């Protein structure tokens, strides 16, 4: 009996925050179960969502998950900022603080930014290319469910077993068993290893989709800029994620199998981990920013009613950034004793990235120049992005100057820099994309009043929160310290920063209110083209039918839909006869595989190898079952397509 | 200007910007690069933001706007040449200075034949400083003579940390199984705050230490005093320090022979490469 009690007290984390977490998770779960049962929605959920291989639905699920994780990571951020608001604060102890900044970083990068870009890729790319789905729809569903259950595995660590607390970079030897005993760090490793499989698969999936599934006539140089950005992202995903998998796999071997790759003792070498981690880690920041660049390009052209300026230069710069991103990883550790020659190479390579990035900024500016700018919500996020990213990118150039970095490294100067590019660049981009493509996803437009409140509060809050962190870095404040003494001059700037963080939090609440109120009072998009936009997705009704295009269009220009409208067309050419449409069938296996990976991961976290083995065995059985499954596709008959098109007023 | 006003209003005195108030040649050299890079990026930031403001005001889509509207205009070789050139020039200037300084900082700031050496170990969660020339050691504080380059040799017998005294100059990591070198120098007597800059767990925030820089004479007196009044650091005492805990300031009159070298090499680490 005592054993059980002891086990439970280790298994369930106890403490005021955790019990609060337990209670809220319990209540939300009960509420979801109640709603699903009360309104008999279980079948609907299973048939329409959990088993769906439709890229649009998978995209929407990615987006919901990303928003949820933005909330979780944001709450972490507010707890961090509350702790740091005053010197010698007792709000969180070191133990909680360490866990919270670790989960904040891990969630924001891997379980917020990544699913958000995957959401945009999934929702938009096939529609922009004139395709009916991605190249491998079933694999796409597997990617999503691996991400989802990976994210769940990390999130339950808060209430079960304890969260990882070695920082989101998880550097050994700190992250090794000697210094981080217990299951916390295993949650980090397993959750990212599982979701990482999904990320690589997504990279391959979209690369193939872009190369093989463009509508006839769409040469690469006629492809919309967002799809180009996704293409560059995929190159980075495919070649960067394996490095992370290896780094974490070896650390997993250290922690679970008793190896000594990176340990303090036994001849381990932590430097190897640092190199592998950042060989993924730097391309990773371009993985999340390049799709945002793609979104800015689409939005700025649409709302300036003008062609994107310097298309060729935009493509060139995307590819230059994608490739150069592999030659800069060492700038994350100029201060780890590389020689002057190595540091110089990586310093100049890092500065080089500013050249194509600067060119993109000028091209966006000159897309607006001599255009007609409409201040819609997506456009406001784009315009707010530019000054933010110019400042954040510039401090990046300053950090690239290696000897100056010896003074900035791990200080709040660095913290301010990467938040400015990741929030000002990535989050602004994803929000712009969300507002822009929302009508295409759901058939109604998000209303403007709350959206504007959200925009202004988030923006003002951003500067109030992060601008003080640059001077804090120059005052010697380093990241990841849970407390600081009074008298260093840090207190007032920290307090200002905390106020800014809460203003951003209120901004986020307004964005959520914005979504809720728009769902309750939707402004329907009946045309499919509410923004008078330019690319192919806007030629479809909103939301797009599940087969996307009744007839695959023939492309002859970059802004295909805009040019069609210039010729007086109000809908795509429907003079050719319809043909049956070949579509993939839904499948429950990707979801089941996600559950089984979760079980295996959970087993490894607690060193319960029987459970882990059973989970992995289940994965193998699912793979076998799939390979003997020949009933994977079907044809939509012409009559059904006609009927469905007629509902949109088309034929 | 606005930024400076806000900072003064919040009660931060200029001296508290430790990175901007170097007291030695290393920190000064790094500050020059910080200032140069700031100026270079401002050359881009200010015009771009001004241009953005102008464009957004001038080309708003409102009735009666007389600004030119050219929806098909999307190429200009001349303009694109200009904005490929601007960042290239900036990167060329900054890259050149960066390269020069990166190499210079691997050498002592002033020529020296027999530099004073301090061996630094980061432990959980304390700093152990050994003076091989003086055969004394300190815990959680440093005493150095002014006006001469100090060669810090760094390692760790705990998770990686980073040795940082902002007013003397930039940081360098302490890593297990490796020794790395960092040259620093103080030209003015004073007390400067140092801290660990890489997260090492629970006690990390408390890993601060003071660096007391004094004249050579006073430094010598300090060494004599430590030898006379300090306690010896024994092997057992060292093993106690390695255990995770916080500790105050301690002066050691001696330490076991080869302590630092053993820590570096005990698990196959190399003494040969000092990184730079």
Reported as a single tens digit per residue, the pLDDT across B127-147 is: 999 999 999 999 999 999 999
Q: Residues 6 or more apart from A264 whose CB is under 8 A from it?
A: A173, A176, A178, A179, A270, B157, B158, B159, B176, B267
Smallest CA–CA distance, residue A29 to chain B, in Å, is: 33
The confidence band for A266, taking pLDDT boundaries of 50, 70 and 90, is confident
Residues 483-502 of A with CB under 8 A from B: 483-484, 488-489, 492-493, 496
Q: For residue range A60-93, what is the model confidence (pLDDT) as tens digits?
A: 999 999 999 999 999 999 999 999 999 999 899 9
Give Rg (Cα) of chain A.
Answer: 25
The dihedral over CA atoms of B246, B251, B255, B259, expressed in degrees to the nearest 10, equals 40
Main-chain phi, psi angles of B38, to 5 degrees: -60, -45
**B228 burial class (0-12, 13-18, 19+ CB within 10 angstroms)?**
exposed
Residue A575, both tokens: 């003079």
A432 vs A434: CA distance, rounded Å: 5
pTM of structure: 0.95
pLDDT surpasses 90 at A30? no
What percentage of chain A's residues is helix, strand, coil (to nearest 5)? 70, 5, 30
The confidence band for B8, taking pLDDT boundaries of 50, 70 and 90, is low
- The CATH number of whichever domain residue A358 belongs to comes to 1.20.210.10
The confidence band for B5, taking pLDDT boundaries of 50, 70 and 90, is low
pLDDT surpasses 60 at A168? yes
The whole-number pLDDT of residue A372 equals: 96
Instruction: Single out the residue of A501, A475, A458, A429 nearest to residue A104, CA to CA.
Output: A501
Partners of A179 on chain B (C-beta within 8 Å) are 124, 158-159, 201
pLDDT surpasses 50 at B275? no
Q: CB contact, 8 Å: A629 with chain B?
A: no
C-alpha neighbours within 13 Å on the C-beta side of residue A240: 29
Contact B105 A359 (CB under 8 A): no
Measured between CB atoms, which of A266, A368, A407 is closest to B19? A407
Residues 88-147 of B with CB under 8 A from A: 88, 90-91, 94-95, 97-99, 101-103, 105-106, 124
Q: For residue range A507-548, what is the model confidence (pLDDT) as tens digits?
A: 999 999 999 999 999 999 989 999 999 999 999 999 999 999
Measured between CB atoms, which of A307, A474, A480 is closest to B20? A474
Contact A264 B158 (CB under 8 A): yes
pLDDT surpasses 70 at B4? no
Contact B239, B259 (CB under 8 A): no
Partners of A407 on chain B (C-beta within 8 Å) are 19, 27, 30-31, 34, 166, 169-171
Measured between CB atoms, which of B59, B101, B159 is closest to A369? B59
Q: For residue range A562-590, what is the model confidence (pLDDT) as tens digits?
A: 999 999 998 888 889 999 999 999 999 99
Main-chain phi, psi angles of A281, to 5 degrees: -60, -35
Q: CB contact, 8 Å: A30 with chain B?
A: no
Domain membership flag for residue A28: no
Contact B75 A404 (CB under 8 A): no
> Mean of the per-residue pLDDT values for chain A?
94
Q: Which residue is it, tokens 């800014």?
A: A500
Q: Which residue of B has its CA nearest to A401?
A: B98
Interface contacts A/B by beta carbons within 8 Å: 299
Question: Cα B249 to chain center, whole Å?
Answer: 22
Contact B170 A337 (CB under 8 A): no
ipTM: 0.95
Measured between CB atoms, which of B16, B40, B90 is closest to A489? B16
**Rounded average pLDDT over B1-19:** 69
pLDDT surpasses 90 at B11? no
The whole-number pLDDT of residue A28 equals: 81
Partners of B31 on chain A (C-beta within 8 Å) are 407
**A84 burial class (0-12, 13-18, 19+ CB within 10 angstroms)?**
buried
Q: CB contact, 8 Å: B246 with chain A?
A: no
Residue A151, both tokens: 């994210």
Residue B103, both tokens: 């190499």
Q: What is the DSSP code (8-state) at residue A427?
A: I
What is chain B's length?
A: 276
Which domain range does residue A83 map to? 41-562+587-647
Contact B47, A390 (CB under 8 A): no
Q: CB contact, 8 Å: A403 with chain B?
A: yes
Measured between CB atoms, which of A270, A394, A493 is closest to B44? A394
Instruction: Single out the residue of A413, A407, A408, A392 nearest to residue A471, CA to CA.
Output: A413
Q: Which residue is it, tokens 């931060």?
A: B12
The confidence band for B6, taking pLDDT boundaries of 50, 70 and 90, is low
Q: CB contact, 8 Å: A578 with chain B?
A: no
Contact A107, A65 (CB under 8 A): no
Strand order of the β-sheet with B190-196 is B141-145, B208-214, B190-196, B161-165, B169-174
A109 vs A116: CA distance, rounded Å: 10
Q: For residue range B88-139, what is the model confidence (pLDDT) as tens digits?
A: 999 999 999 999 999 999 999 999 888 999 999 999 999 999 999 999 999 9
The whole-number pLDDT of residue B181 equals: 94
What is chain A's length?
A: 651
Q: For residue range A92-142, what is the model confidence (pLDDT) as tens digits?
A: 999 999 999 999 999 999 999 999 999 999 999 999 999 999 999 999 999
pLDDT surpasses 60 at B272? no
List helix spans (H) across A375-427.
Answer: 377-400, 402-408, 412-421
Instruction: Single out the residue of B171, B85, B68, B97 nearest to residue B127, CA to CA.
Output: B171
Domain membership flag for residue A8: no
Q: What is the DSSP code (8-state) at residue A308?
A: P
Q: Which of A262, A476, A481, A533 is the mutation pick for testing B, counting most B CBs within 10 A?
A: A476
Q: Which residue is it, tokens 């030629």?
A: A539
Contact B41 A471 (CB under 8 A): no
The confidence band for A355, taking pLDDT boundaries of 50, 70 and 90, is very high
A254 vs A175: CA distance, rounded Å: 10
Contact B33 A403 (CB under 8 A): yes
Domain membership flag for residue A579: no
CA distances from B68 to A299, A369, A374, A385, B75 (A): 21, 9, 15, 25, 16
Domain membership flag for residue A259: yes
Q: Residues 6 or more apart from A439 whose CB is under 8 A from it?
A: A445, A525, A530, A542
Q: For residue range B39-81, what is the model confidence (pLDDT) as tens digits?
A: 999 999 999 999 999 999 999 999 999 999 999 999 999 999 9
Measured between CB atoms, which of A307, A407, A475 is closest to B71? A307
pLDDT surpasses 90 at B267? no
B53 vs B59: CA distance, rounded Å: 10
pLDDT surpasses 70 at B10? no
Contact A465, A423 (CB under 8 A): no
The whole-number pLDDT of residue A649 equals: 83
Torsion B234-B236-B241-B242 (CA) sign: positive
Number of domains chain A contains: 1
CA distances from A400 to A319, A468, B110 (A): 21, 21, 26
Residue A129, both tokens: 């290319």
Domain membership flag for residue A299: yes
- Which H or E run contains A604? helix A589-605
Q: Which residue of B has its CA nearest to A101?
A: B199
pLDDT surpasses 50 at B276? no
Instruction: Single out the residue of A590, A588, A597, A613 nearest to residue A193, CA to CA.
Output: A597
Contact B33 A267 (CB under 8 A): no
The whole-number pLDDT of residue B1 equals: 44
List helix spans (H) across A49-183.
Answer: 55-84, 94-106, 114-129, 137-156
Q: Which residue of B has its CA nearest to A492?
A: B10
Main-chain phi, psi angles of A8, to 5 degrees: -65, -35
Q: For residue range A455-507, what is the model confidence (pLDDT) as tens digits?
A: 999 999 999 999 999 999 999 999 999 999 999 999 999 999 999 999 999 99
Q: CB contact, 8 Å: B65 with chain A?
A: yes
């Amino acid at each position: 009996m005592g054993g059980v009690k002891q086990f439970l007290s280790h298994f369930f984390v106890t403490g005021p925050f955790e019990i609060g977490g337990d209670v809220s998770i319990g209540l939300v779960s009960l509420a979801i179960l109640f709603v699903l049962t009360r309104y008999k929605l279980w079948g609907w959920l299973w048939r329409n969502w959990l088993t769906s291989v439709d890229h649009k639905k998978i995209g929407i699920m990615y987006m919901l998950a990303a928003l949820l994780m933005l909330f979780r990571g944001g709450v972490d951020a507010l707890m961090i900022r509350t702790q740091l608001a005053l010197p010698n604060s007792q709000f969180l102890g070191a133990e909680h603080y360490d866990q919270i900044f670790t989960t904040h970083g891990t969630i924001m990068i891997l379980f917020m930014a990544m699913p958000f870009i995957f959401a945009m890729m999934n929702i938009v790319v096939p529609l922009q290319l004139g395709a009916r789905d991605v190249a491998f729809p079933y694999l796409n569903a597997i990617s999503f469910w691996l991400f989802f259950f990976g994210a769940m595995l990390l999130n339950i660590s808060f209430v079960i077993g304890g969260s990882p607390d070695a920082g989101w970079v998880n550097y050994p030897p700190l992250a090794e068993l000697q210094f981080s005993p217990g299951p916390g760090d295993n949650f980090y490793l397993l959750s990212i290893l599982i979701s990482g499989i999904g990320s690589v698969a997504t990279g391959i999936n979209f690369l193939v989709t872009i190369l093989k599934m463009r509508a006839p006539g769409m040469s690469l140089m006629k492809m919309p800029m967002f799809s180009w950005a996704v293409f560059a992202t995929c190159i980075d995903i495919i070649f960067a994620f394996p490095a992370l998998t290896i780094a974490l796999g070896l650390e997993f071997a250290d922690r679970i199998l008793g190896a000594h790759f990176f340990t303090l003792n036994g001849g381990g070498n932590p430097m190897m981990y640092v190199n592998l981690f950042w060989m993924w880690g730097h391309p990773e920041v371009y993985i999340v920013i390049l799709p945002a660049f793609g979104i800015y390009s689409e939005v700025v052209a649409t709302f300036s009613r003008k062609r994107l300026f310097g298309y060729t230069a935009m493509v060139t710069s995307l590819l230059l950034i994608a490739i150069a991103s592999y030659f800069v990883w060492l700038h994350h550790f100029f201060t780890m004793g590389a020689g002057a020659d190595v540091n110089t190479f990586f310093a100049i390579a890092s500065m080089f990235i500013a050249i194509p990035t600067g060119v993109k900024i000028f091209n966006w500016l000159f897309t607006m120049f001599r255009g007609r700018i409409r201040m819609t919500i997506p456009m406001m996020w784009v315009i707010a992005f530019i000054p933010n990213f110019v400042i954040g990118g510039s401090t990046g150039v300053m950090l690239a100057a290696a000897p100056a970095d010896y003074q900035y490294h791990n200080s709040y100067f660095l913290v301010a820099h990467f938040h400015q590019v990741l929030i000002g660049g990535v989050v602004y981009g994803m929000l712009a994309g969300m507002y822009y493509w929302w009508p295409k996803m759901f058939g109604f437009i998000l209303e403007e009043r709350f959206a504007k409140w959200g925009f202004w509060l988030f923006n003002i809050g951003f500067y109030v929160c992060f601008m003080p962190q640059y001077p804090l870095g120059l005052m010697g404040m380093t990241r990841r310290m849970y407390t600081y003494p009074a008298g260093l001059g840090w207190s007032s700037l920290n307090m200002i920063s905390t106020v800014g963080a809460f203003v951003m939090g209120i901004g986020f609440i307004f964005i959520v209110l914005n979504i809720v109120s728009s769902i309750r009072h939707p402004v329907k998009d009946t045309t499919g083209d509410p923004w008078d936009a330019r690319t192919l997705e806007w030629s479809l009704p909103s939301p797009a039918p599940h087969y996307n295009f009744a007839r695959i269009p023939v492309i002859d220009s970059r802004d295909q839909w805009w040019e069609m409208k210039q010729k007086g067309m109000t809908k795509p050419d429907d003079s050719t006869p319809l043909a049956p449409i070949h579509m993939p069938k839904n499948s429950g296996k990707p979801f089941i595989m996600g559950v089984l990976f979760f079980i295996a991961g959970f087993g490894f976290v607690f060193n319960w190898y029987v459970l882990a083995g059973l989970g992995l065995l289940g994965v193998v059985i699912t793979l076998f079952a799939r390979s003997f499954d020949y009933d994977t596709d079907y044809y939509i008959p012409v009559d059904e397509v006609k009927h469905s098109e007629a509902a949109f007023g088309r034929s | 200007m606005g930024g400076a006003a806000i900072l003064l209003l919040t009660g931060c005195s200029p001296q508290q910007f430790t990175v901007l108030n170097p007291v030695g040649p290393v920190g000064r050299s790094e500050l020059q690069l910080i200032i140069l890079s700031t100026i270079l990026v401002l050359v881009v930031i200010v015009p771009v933001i001004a241009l953005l403001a102008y464009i957004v005001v001038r080309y708003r889509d409102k009735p009666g706007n007389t600004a030119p509207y050219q929806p098909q205009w999307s190429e200009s070789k001349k303009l694109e040449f200009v904005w490929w050139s601007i960042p290239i020039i900036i990167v060329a200037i900054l890259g050149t200075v960066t390269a020069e300084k990166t190499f210079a900082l691997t050498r002592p700031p002033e020529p020296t034949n027999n530099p004073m050496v301090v061996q630094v170990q980061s432990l959980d969660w304390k700093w152990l400083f050994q003076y091989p020339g003086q055969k004394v050691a300190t815990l959680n504080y440093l005493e150095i003579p002014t006006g001469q380059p100090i060669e810090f040799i760094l390692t760790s017998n705990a998770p990686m940390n980073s040795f940082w005294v902002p007013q003397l100059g930039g940081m360098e990591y302490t890593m297990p199984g490796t020794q790395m070198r960092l040259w620093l120098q103080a030209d003015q007597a004073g007390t400067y705050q140092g801290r660990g800059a890489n997260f090492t767990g629970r006690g990390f925030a408390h890993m601060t230490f003071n660096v007391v820089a004094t004249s050579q004479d006073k430094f010598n007196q300090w060494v004599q005093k430590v030898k006379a009044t300090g306690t010896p650091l024994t092997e057992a005492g060292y093993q106690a320090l390695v255990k995770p805990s916080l500790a105050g300031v301690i002066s050691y009159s001696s330490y076991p022979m080869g302590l630092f070298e053993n820590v570096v090499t005990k698990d196959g680490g190399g003494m040969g490469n000092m990184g730079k």
